[in-house]
Structure 1
């Protein structure tokens, strides 16, 4: 089709969807539901997302640019917000939380006051002012804490950070990579809701059926021309080796996940505070493989946990996650800003012996400001409800 035509070829969208950045990751999911007249609007929205997955231009400006009603733009935006990661395309963190809460309420129960807390109490939530939040919602401080914990655990005001990937520090730096988004390679789910439930592990292969070398090719090898017989035989051996290597890799991944779900069962079911500090070297000895085999098996792979969160597979080997979770809980519950030394003493009472310098490091990793800045009431709201920090 010529460039002068006002139409766009159908396969252009399919080609765009093969790129693993956030706009194309979302486009791949909604393309089938888009009317042809809505495609330019969707493209406008998706190309104006920031790294947090939030829309950076007003809806009215998009409507004016395309000469359409605001309601049409809002309909396309709602479709985008329902794609993964939920809430993507929202104009603000508050709107992202509300979109996720609406979707979550369709499949599970949510606290009655959660929507009000988000609509009217965002500032109180971000500053952990649970007493005032309770007064606003007409509930006790304990209930306000429970509502805040539900929001923090199940919702993410920055949808673009909900999927894992690598963030490049500069577009001009050839050594960096942009954020990459993935469907999970492994899905872990519960058999039922009890604490003693069995965990079901599914390996999400990128193919369907069974991979094998076409038997017709093997038969044709007997009738191959003499000058091509050797080449065909070599091709057949390489194909069979490829199939064998893929089967072995998948077998290793199955064994790895079976052992990880046993060792990290409490983390999978109950969250970061229950992470067990294990290493790749320890697991490689248990499975009888080289440590590099474990590293390759988990590299660039993701796992969907029973709560729906998608995390990098190497999070199972994060030996400081449970300590950082305890640190965050201490700061969430502080009545005054505690110094790193005081936090270290409380952690020691909980069985975590860490130096003050390490406390400062972990606090920085969690995006929490020092005591003197927390004391002035200036917390890092952008990190308060992040479920899985970008790695």
Structure 2
């Protein structure tokens, strides 16, 4: 009895420690994006000799890769399921194929709406119209000279000193005019480099009281090459922050900053190339229609690296036959590999539960767009899933989802209360017979669409959508068919 009393706390402590290790590892894996998790799984496979990839199984009907056990979840969904109950399952990331662009998308890529304006107005003219009321007569030649030396990305190709020399103005005057240019649209125009363009955009965001992470400026100053998901560890080390904070910082930069301010409207529209610092993202979750039927259930694929990862049976069997000296080492290897597999399963299970809830609650948003988003908070979802709110936050962070129309969104968009109002604002502006002021738009949003937002908020949302103010939208209307 005394021996049991002495041993029980030790056994309990060991179990608690093991649970804590699994929980910590699960939370870490849950916070990773699909690409980061894939890299982590590949590293684990290289480091753990006990791990292997199980032989591939494919569904004889649809050819889809199958998990280690069980039938095809798409061809053999559970019996007795409600007609609109989402079909949710884990899928191998290798099965993802980007959807082919629709004819409308191809047309949009070749001739976006902004080009109605860009075709008839040069970048220099566009910026000059904005700053002209604030220029003194002696400043106009300086502005004209600076604006004619903007490249198609909106970056300045000469120094203020060179401009002062050619315009015979003082360096102070040139810098004063340049500051006016840099306050114009597109944000960051007139910068000397992509980094400076992003720093200007950070300053403008702060001026409209948009939340800006404390280390954003410092991260931008480190250079675009470091702003890559693959270099998040180095970025965190250089900034003295945690890797999770560095990932959040990269998400903010990708969503809010543009190193080439004018390229979208005045650059080469037919390059078809993404910015080198903004890598193409594979979605973590894909929502699609079952057999293309909009009245049928949603099919939800949660891409999960390591689905066929397992402990090698031969390695496990051989462990019992080696000498005592090596057995402990091999057993520890198997234990570590098993803990990793358990953490992966828990991570995948949490994402599946979240994806199923989103498919149930946000079907209209998934199928019909942002105006149909239902207000939802992470705290409410956590209560529904019976997990901590921080678990939901980790499950959402750094994740993307592909909608049935092929559009890629952030998983955090499901919790963005501004989306319906921003979609309504875009619809209002698209249908206006003449450009409406922000005050008029705020009134219409409130009276006709139920979105009670202030004029300042309208201006913020308009800027987020890349829509110019009313007095600069007039040329768009003139050139629309």
Smaller-chain TM-score range? 0.5 to 0.7
Structure 1 residue 286 displacement after superposition: 0.8
Contact 1:303 1:312 (C-alpha < 8 Å) held by counterparts: yes
Contact 1:192 1:198 in 2 (8 A): no
For residue 298 of structure 1, report the CA deviation from its aligned partner: 2.3
- Aligned partner of 1:241 in structure 2 is 339
Partner of 2:365: 267
Residue 259 to residue 84, structure 1, CA distance change in 2 (3 Å):
closer
Residue 180, structure 1, aligned to residue 279, structure 2: yes
Deviations 1:33-79 (A, max 9, x none): xxxxxxxxxxxxxxxxxxxxxxxxxxxxxxxxxxxxxxxxxxxxxxx
**Of 386, 397, 402, the match for 1:299:** 397
Whether 2:422 is the aligned partner of 1:318: answer no
Deviations, residues 223-255 of structure 1 (Å, cap 9, x unaligned): 233223222222111111100110111111110
Give the superposition deviation at 1:328: 0.6
**Using CA pairs below 8 Å that are at least 6 residues apart, which structure has the higher relative contact order?**
2
Q: 1:228 to 1:264 in 2, by over 3 A?
A: same
The alpha-carbon deviation at position 196 of structure 1 amounts to 2.7
Secondary structure of the residue aligned to 2:367 is helix
Of 179, 186, 202 in structure 1, the residue corresponding to residue 301 of structure 2 is: 202
Partners in 2 of 1:275 and 1:373 — Cα distance?
A: 30
CA contact (8 A) 2:99 2:406 kept: no
How many residues are matched? 237
Q: Which residue number in structure 2 is paired with residue 333 of structure 1?
A: 431
- Residue ranges of structure 2 left out of the alignment (5+ in a row): 1-34, 36-96, 118-215, 229-276
Q: How does 1:216-227 map to 2 (within 5 A)?
A: 216-227=314-325
Q: Give the CA deviation at 1:321.
A: 0.8
Aligned to 1:281: 379
After superposition, the Cα gap between the structure-2 partners of 1:252 and 1:84, relative to the gap in structure 1 and judged at 3 Å, is closer
The answer to whether the 8 A contact 1:188-1:304 is kept is yes
Residues in 2 aligned to 1:267 and 1:311: alpha-carbon distance in whole angstroms: 12
Map 1:41-120 to 2 at 5 A. 100=101, 104=102
Deviations 1:322-357 (A, max 9, x none): 110000111111112111111111111111111111
The residue that corresponds to 2:472 in the other structure is 373
Q: Structure 2: how far apart are the matches of 1:319 and 1:295?
A: 16
Match of 1:215 in 2: 313
What is the rounded CA distance, in whole Å, between the counterparts of 2:282 and 2:302 in structure 1?
A: 12
SS in 1 for 2:401: strand
Deviating above 4 A after TM superposition, structure 1's stretches of 4 or more consecutive aligned residues are 83-86, 121-125, 168-171, 192-195
Secondary structure at the aligned position of 2:311 is classed as: coil
Alpha-carbon distance between aligned partners in 2 of 1:222 and 1:122, rounded to the nearest angstrom: 66
User: What's the counterpart of residue 444 of structure 2?
Assistant: 346
- Residue range with higher mean Cα deviation, 170-179 or 315-324: 170-179
List per-residue Cα deviations over 1:9-46 (Å, max 9, x = no partner).
xxxxxxxxxxx8xxxxxxxxxxxxxxxxxxxxxxxxxx
- Greater shift, 215-224 or 231-240, is seen at 215-224
Root-mean-square deviation (CA, aligned residues, Å) is 3.6
Q: Distance in 1 between matches of 2:294 and 2:408?
A: 21
CA distance in 2, matches of 1:193, 1:250: 26
Judged with a 3 Å threshold, the aligned counterparts in structure 2 of structure 1 residues 123 and 293 are, in CA distance, closer, same or farther, namely closer
CA spacing shift, 1:284–1:123, aligned 2, 3 Å = closer
CA distance in 2, matches of 1:369, 1:123: 12
Q: Which residue of 1 aligns with 2:168?
A: none
Q: Assess if the C-alpha contact under 8 Å between 1:302 and 1:313 holds in 2.
A: yes
How far is the alpha carbon of 1:171 from its aligned partner?
6.9
Q: Distance in 1 between matches of 2:444 and 2:326?
A: 74
Match runs of 1:139-154 below 5 Å: none
Give the superposition deviation at 1:378: 5.8
Gaps of 5+ in 1: 1-19, 21-82, 87-99, 128-165, 385-391
- For residues 281 and 112 of structure 2, the distance between their equivalents in structure 1, rounded to whole angstroms, comes to 30
TM-score (norm 2): 0.44
Deviation at 1:309, TM superposition (A): 1.7
1:70-119 alpha-carbon deviations (Å, 9 max, x no partner): xxxxxxxxxxxxx9697xxxxxxxxxxxxx5xxx35xxxx79xx97x999
Residues of 2 paired with 1:123 and 1:194: CA distance?
Answer: 31
User: What secondary structure does 1:181 align onto?
Assistant: coil
